[in-house]
C-alpha cells in the first residue's frame, strides 16, 4: 500500500499546485504601444511588397516570353486580370451577380460586398476594385501582425519583435495571395486586430473585428476559443475585485466578442436559407468542391502517407508539399511554442489547424490550399520572431529563401498555374 500511495500523493500534490495562469493586470494588458512607429513599419513593408508584385506583374510577359516585346505596351487591363485567377473569378461573379449558383455559398460575403462597394465608387471596374480591396486588406494585415507581435513581446523588445514578425510575414512564400483577388489579407488583418483587442480587453472593438472576420472566411470560428479564454480571464480579474454579479456585468462585452464569429456564420446561413431553402447549404456545398469530414487524427497521418507514395520528381509532389509542409510546420511550431506563448494565441492556432485539417479534399493532396490558409498563422510568425532573437544570422537566409520561392510561385500563379 505504501508503494502505491506515494505516486498518488505526488499526483495529488501536483494537481493541488496546478493553477490557471493569473489574469494580466489591466495596466499591463493596455500598456502603451508605439502605434505611429508600428504603422510606419507596416506601411513601408506593405509598400515594398506591393511595388515588387507590380514590377513582377509588368515584366511577367518579358520574363516568361509569353508576349512579343515588339508588340507595344502591355495593356494595363491584361496585367490586372492576371491576379484574378481561380477563386478571384468566383469573388468577382459574387460581387456582380450575387449568390448563384448555390455551390458558391462556400465563399463568404464580406469580400464580395466590399468589392461591390468599391465598384460603386470607382465605376464597374471589377478587377481593379477587387485588387484595391484585397491590397488594402493586406495593409490592415501588416498593421495587425506588427501590433499583435508588439503586444505579446517582452518589455523593451516590442519594436524588434514587431519588425522581425513583419519581415517573416512578408517573405512567406505564399504571401503573394495577399495581393491577389483573395480574402487572405483581409482576414489576417481582421483576425489580428480581434486578437489584439481581446488581449487589450477592448471588447467592443474585438467583437467588431471578430464579426467581420467571421463574414470574410470559413476559418473565422478559430477566434472563438482565444476570445473565450480572454473573457474567462476578464471574469476572474473582475471577480477578485468584486461580487459575482459585478464580474458578470464587467464580462458582458467580452461575451459579445466571443459570440461574434458565431453570429457571423448564423446570419450568413440565414441569408442562404432564405435564398436557397437550405440552412446547411454552406456544409452541403463543400461536397461540390470534394471536401469531406475527417478527424485531424486521421487526416494528418493520411496526408503524410499519401505524400510519401508520390513520385518526388512529379509536379504533384511539389504541389502537395506546398500545402502539407506549412500545415505540419505550423502544428509543430505551435506545440513547441505553447509553453511560452499566450494561451489565446495557442488556442487560435489550434482552432485554425483543426478547421483546415478536419475538412480535407478527397484527392491525393488532401490539404489543398493548406499552405495559403497558413498565411493566417500569425502566432507562428510571432514565435519565430522571438526565436530569431537568439539567431539573428538566420533572418537574412530566411528572407533570401522566402523571397526567391515567393517570386517563382508568383510567376507560376500569374501564368494561371494551379495554386489556389
- Give me the DSSP letters along 236-247: HHHHHHS-HHHH
**Grid cell locating 417:** 498555374
C-alpha to C-alpha distance for 102 and 326, rounded to whole angstroms: 31
Percent of the chain with pLDDT over 90: 58
Where does the pLDDT of residue 216 fall: very low under 50, low under 70, confident under 90, or very high at 90 and above?
Answer: very high
CB atoms within 10 A of CB 336: 12
Give the three-state DSSP class for 291.
strand
In 3-state terms the chain splits into helix, strand, coil percentages (rounded to 5) of: 75, 0, 25
Maximum Cα interatomic distance, the chain, rounded to a whole number of Å = 92
The mean pLDDT value for 97-122 works out to 92
More confident residue, 200 or 58: 200
Contacting residues for 121 by C-beta, under 8 A, at least 6 apart: none
In this prediction, residue 16 carries a pLDDT of 46
Please enumerate in sequence order all residues whose Cβ is within 8 A of that of 52, keeping only pairs 6 or more positions apart, or say none: none
Taking phi first (over 0 means left), then psi (-120 to 50 degrees means alpha), and beta for anything else, what does residue 155 get? beta
The per-residue pLDDT for 112 is 95
DSSP letters along 339-381, please? TTS-HHHHHHHHHHHHHHHSS-BSSSSTTTTHHHHGGG-HHHH
Between residues 246 and 130, the one the model is more confident about: 130
Pick the residue with more confidence: 9 or 94? 94
Whether a cis peptide bond, with omega within 30° of 0, leads into 101 is yes
Q: 9 is written with which cell numbers? A: 500523493
Question: For the chain, what is the mean pLDDT?
Answer: 87
| CB-CB contact of 177 with 369 (8 Å) | no
For residue 8, the tally of other CB atoms under 10 A from its CB is 9
Report residue 23's pLDDT band, with 50, 70 and 90 as the boundaries.
low
Higher pLDDT, 15 or 100: 100
Rounded to whole angstroms, the Cα distance separating 316 from 319 reads 5
Q: What SS3 class is residue 166?
A: helix
| Integer angstrom CA distances of residue 348 from 192, 294, 328, 361, 397 | 10, 20, 16, 23, 29
Q: Average the pLDDT over 365-389 and give the result.
A: 92
Mean pLDDT, to the nearest integer, of 74-91? 78
pLDDT digits (tens, 9 = 90+) for 292-310: 889 999 999 999 998 888 8
The pLDDT value given to residue 69: 46
> What 3-state DSSP class applies to 234?
helix
Looking at the predicted structure, is the pLDDT value of residue 273 above 90?
yes
Rama region for 23: left / alpha / beta (φ>0; ψ in -120 to 50; rest): beta
What pLDDT is attached to residue 64?
59
How far apart CA 262 and CA 348 sit, in angstroms, is 15
Sorting pLDDT into bands at 50, 70 and 90, what band is 17?
very low
- Tell me, rounded to whole angstroms, the distance of Cα 269 from its chain centroid: 22
Cell of 101: 449558383
Q: Is the per-residue pLDDT at 21 higher than 70?
A: no
* Whether 185 contacts 143, CB under 8 Å: no
- The per-residue pLDDT for 377 is 95
Sorted by sequence, the CB contacts under 8 Å of residue 233 that are 6+ apart come out as 21, 23, 24
148-178 pLDDT, tens digit each: 999 999 888 999 999 999 999 999 999 999 9
Q: Identify the residue with better confidence: 22 or 408.
A: 408
Span 339-363, pLDDT tens digits: 989 999 999 999 999 999 998 887 7
Distance between CA atoms of residues 186 and 113, nearest Å: 13
C-alpha grid cell for residue 167?
Answer: 519581415
Handedness of CA 300, 416, 60, 167 (dihedral sign): negative
- How many residues appear in the chain? 420
pLDDT higher than threshold 60 for residue 277: yes
| pLDDT attached to residue 268 | 94
Residue 321 scores a pLDDT above 60: yes
What is the spatial distance between Cα 95 and Cα 72, in angstroms, rounded to a whole number? Answer: 33
Neighbours of 236 (CB within 10 A): 15
Residues of the chain with pLDDT > 70: what percent?
89
pLDDT value at position 5? 62
pLDDT computed for residue 65 by the predictor: 56
The predicted model gives 220-224 an average pLDDT of: 95
Helices (H) and strands (E) in the chain, counts: 20, 0
| Beta carbons of 254 and 203 less than 8 angstroms apart | yes
Q: Tell me if 30 sits within 8 A of 56, measured CB to CB.
A: no
pLDDT greater at residue 325 or residue 284: 325
Amino acid at each position: 500500500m505504501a508503494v502505491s500511495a506515494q505516486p498518488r500523493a505526488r499526483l495529488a500534490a501536483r494537481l493541488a499546485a496546478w493553477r490557471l495562469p493569473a489574469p494580466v493586470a489591466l495596466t499591463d494588458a493596455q500598456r502603451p504601444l508605439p502605434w505611429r512607429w508600428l504603422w510606419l513599419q507596416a506601411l513601408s513593408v506593405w509598400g515594398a511588397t506591393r511595388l515588387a508584385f507590380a514590377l513582377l506583374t509588368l515584366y511577367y510577359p518579358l520574363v516568361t516570353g509569353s508576349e512579343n516585346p515588339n508588340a507595344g505596351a502591355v495593356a494595363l487591363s491584361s496585367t490586372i486580370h492576371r491576379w484574378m485567377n481561380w477563386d478571384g473569378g468566383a469573388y468577382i461573379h459574387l460581387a456582380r451577380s450575387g449568390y448563384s449558383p448555390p455551390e458558391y455559398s462556400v465563399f463568404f460575403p464580406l469580400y464580395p460586398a466590399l468589392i461591390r462597394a468599391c465598384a460603386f465608387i470607382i465605376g464597374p471596374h471589377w478587377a481593379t476594385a477587387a485588387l484595391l480591396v484585397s491590397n488594402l486588406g493586406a495593409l490592415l494585415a501588416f498593421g495587425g501582425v506588427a501590433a499583435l507581435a508588439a503586444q505579446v513581446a517582452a518589455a523593451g523588445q516590442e519594436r524588434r519583435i514587431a519588425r522581425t514578425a513583419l519581415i517573416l510575414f512578408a517573405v512567406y512564400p505564399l504571401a503573394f495571395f495577399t495581393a491577389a483577388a483573395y480574402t487572405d489579407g483581409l482576414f489576417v488583418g481582421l483576425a489580428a486586430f480581434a486578437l489584439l483587442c481581446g488581449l487589450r480587453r477592448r471588447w467592443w472593438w474585438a467583437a467588431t473585428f471578430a464579426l467581420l472576420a467571421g463574414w470574410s472566411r470559413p476559418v473565422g470560428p478559430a477566434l472563438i476559443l482565444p476570445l473565450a479564454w480572454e473573457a474567462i480571464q476578464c471574469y476572474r480579474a473582475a471577480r477578485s475585485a468584486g461580487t459575482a454579479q459585478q464580474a458578470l456585468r464587467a464580462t458582458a462585452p467580452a461575451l459579445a466578442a466571443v459570440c461574434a464569429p458565431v453570429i457571423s456564420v448564423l446570419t450568413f446561413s440565414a441569408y442562404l436559407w432564405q435564398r436557397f431553402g437550405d440552412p446547411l447549404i454552406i456544409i452541403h456545398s463543400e461536397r461540390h468542391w470534394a471536401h469531406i469530414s475527417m478527424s485531424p487524427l486521421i487526416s494528418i497521418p493520411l496526408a503524410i502517407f499519401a505524400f510519401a507514395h508520390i513520385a518526388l520528381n512529379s509536379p504533384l509532389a511539389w504541389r502537395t508539399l506546398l500545402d502539407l509542409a506549412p500545415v505540419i510546420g505550423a502544428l509543430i511550431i505551435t506545440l513547441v511554442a505553447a509553453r511560452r506563448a499566450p494561451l489565446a494565441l495557442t488556442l487560435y492556432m489550434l482552432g485554425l489547424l483543426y478547421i483546415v485539417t478536419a475538412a480535407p479534399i478527397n484527392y491525393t493532396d488532401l490539404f489543398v490550399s493548406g499552405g495559403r490558409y497558413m498565411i493566417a498563422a500569425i502566432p507562428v510568425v510571432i514565435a519565430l520572431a522571438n526565436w530569431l532573437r537568439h539567431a539573428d544570422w538566420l533572418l537574412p537566409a530566411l528572407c533570401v529563401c522566402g523571397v526567391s520561392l515567393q517570386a517563382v510561385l508568383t510567376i507560376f500563379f500569374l501564368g494561371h498555374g494551379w495554386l489556389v
